[in-house]
Structure 1
Amino acid sequence: MSVSTSRPRDGIAVVTVDHPPVNALPVQGWYDLADAVTAAGRDPAHRVVVLTAAGRGFNAGVDIKEMQRTPGHDALIGANRGCAAAFAAVYECEVPVVAAVHGHCLGGGIGLIGNADAIVASEDATFGLPELDRGALGAATHLSRLLPPHLMRPLYYTGHTLTARELHRYGAVWELAPTAEELPEVALRLAARIAAKDGYLLRLAKEALNGIDPVDVRRSYRYEQGFTFEANLSGVSDRHRDSFVRTRSPEGDRREVTP
């Protein structure tokens, strides 16, 4: 697991997550990501942060294998708190955050991009919340920031995914890149336009926009997580997670969701 920060252009920090095979993050990974985004935004040399990932996809949520091999509820609690910390770090980053998405963006990935200030995506990107299939609830708070309610709700209930082009049509994606290889340049183009503004004013603007949001994303997401705990206490979550582990792909795909 690695979270690295680079500075490809003046005023721009790029935070990159790399956790093969599918960027399904362990508990510590969520905290590492939160720390990296917070530090990048706090650095006065930065006026915008680009959040991206290496490998097969942007993010596949939590590492369900870690959760199922850890006795008791420690991993579940850790994942809940780690996800909340990472999502909040993106939302509360002192400068605007541009999420650059390729491949799959599932579960926790929706939590990250739903709290970003802008999204760019490659044509191969897909977005969804397969929470109910994994015995979990969460990140509807963030999906609702991307889509109108009567689209968000059936997506949440069914676990259906949308393409990048569909999200672009609904106005949630700023710009599409034809390929994943071209995505970094698309992301940097938007980041450069933002970074060209006065850094002090950008920080004021970010704080002001958060202050007028109609929903408290921290409180809303923690409310959702309470129902995930209820599902776990009932035993239904373990049944779904155990089934997922038994039927995982031969490649060891640890694709998972947000608790």
Structure 2
Amino acid sequence: MGVSTSSPEKGISVVTVDFPPVNALPVRGWFELADAVRAAGRDAEVRCVVLTAEGRGFNAGVDIKEIQQEQQAQREQQKRQERQERPEHRGATGHGALIGANRGCAEAFAAVYECEVPVVAAVRGFCLGGGIGLVGNADVIVASDDATFGLPELDRGALGAATHLARLVPQHLMRALYYTSRTATAAELHAHGSVWRVVPRADLLDAALELAREIAAKDGQLIRLAKAAINGIDPVDVRRSYRFEQGFTFEANLSGVADRVRDTFGKEADR
């Protein structure tokens, strides 16, 4: 369980995420993923990175229960302090997990985008929330025919990754998907040109490796220059744009609306 790296063939590094049951990553998971992708990109022998996942789906975003558990513990601690009449301890934020998730997601998304070599995302099953941040910042997406993509953030008391969804679908569709929390299929994204290829789930890794092999056949120094050049002409600063969005996530938490929505999501998820 966690993040692992393998080298199935020369010039290709495969970074695999495995956080059962649904690949909802805890804070440490996002930082582990960022470190693994950056390390693969720094390896002079690597010319392409494949980002994939084990289990039921590619990524279910942030581990909301980790945030809920910390905030519940903070609320209980605050009640104990109030009963003991210790006002000097009041006002503790209890937002450590949220801050960690915000920073971890930002680092993981940036690691994919800033990886020194092209990153091919091999997506199966659900790709939600933070998963959109990863694939939206990847260079190429290969998906299984059962893959779905979406941002259920509004249903989970959060905001963010519209920056990355906007790289996958046209602007007005992005807004409709964002406001409704609906998902789009791999076939639909293929029609929009953001998914390179759609294949049966059993063929996903082979299809991703086939593309990675073609990329890795290029000159190693030149492919790194190509990645830097393409990033340099990108019309959107994805790191700054995403961090701007995250500010509204924190505002939603400070106002209490995020807790209200998350608590509702938690009860529905437990049914």
Which bin holds the TM-score, normalised by the shorter protein? Answer: over 0.9
TM-aligned CA deviation for residue 246 of structure 1: 1.6
d(CA) in 1 for partners of 2:249, 2:64: 14
d(CA) in 1 for partners of 2:145, 2:226: 30
d(CA) in 2 for partners of 1:130, 1:50: 25
TM-aligned CA deviation for residue 12 of structure 1: 0.3
Count of aligned pairs: 249
2:269 aligned counterpart, secondary structure:
coil
Partner of 1:96: 118
1:247 aligned counterpart, secondary structure:
helix
TM-aligned CA deviation for residue 28 of structure 1: 0.3
d(CA) in 2 for partners of 1:81, 1:240: 22
Partner of 1:254: none
TM-aligned CA deviation for residue 249 of structure 1: 4.3
Partner of 2:26: 26
Higher helix share: 2
2:204 aligned to 183, 207, 217, which one?
183
Amino acid at match of 1:176: V
> Where does the alignment leave 5 or more consecutive residues of structure 1 unmatched?
251-259
Amino acid at match of 2:233: I
Compare 46-55 and 145-154 and name the one that shifted more: 145-154
Partner of 1:257: none
Correspondence 1:64 to 2:64: yes
TM-aligned CA deviation for residue 2 of structure 1: 1.2
d(CA) in 1 for partners of 2:238, 2:187: 26
Partner of 2:133: 111
- How is 1:119-130 mapped onto 2 (pairs within 5 angstroms)? 119-130=141-152
d(CA) in 2 for partners of 1:108, 1:2: 16
2:60 aligned counterpart, secondary structure:
coil
1:50 aligned counterpart, secondary structure:
strand
d(CA) in 2 for partners of 1:41, 1:128: 27
Partner of 1:230: 251
Amino acid at match of 1:5: T
d(CA) in 2 for partners of 1:233, 1:4: 35
Provide Cα deviations, 1:58-94, integer angstroms capped at 9, x if missing partner.
Answer: 0000001100011310000000000000000000000
Structure number with greater CO (CA < 8 Å, separation at least 6) is: 1
Partner of 1:16: 16
2:239 aligned to 202, 212, 218, which one?
218
Greater gyration radius: 2
Provide Cα deviations, 1:173-232, integer angstroms capped at 9, x if missing partner.
Answer: 001112x22100000011011001000000000011111100100100000001111111
Question: What fraction of aligned residue pairs are identical, expressed as a percent?
Answer: 75
Partner of 1:255: none
Amino acid at match of 2:21: P
> Where does the alignment leave 5 or more consecutive residues of structure 2 unmatched?
75-93
d(CA) in 1 for partners of 2:170, 2:97: 33
- TM (norm. structure 2) is 0.91
TM-aligned CA deviation for residue 135 of structure 1: 1.1
Correspondence 1:156 to 2:216: no
d(CA) in 1 for partners of 2:66, 2:245: 22
Partner of 2:37: 37
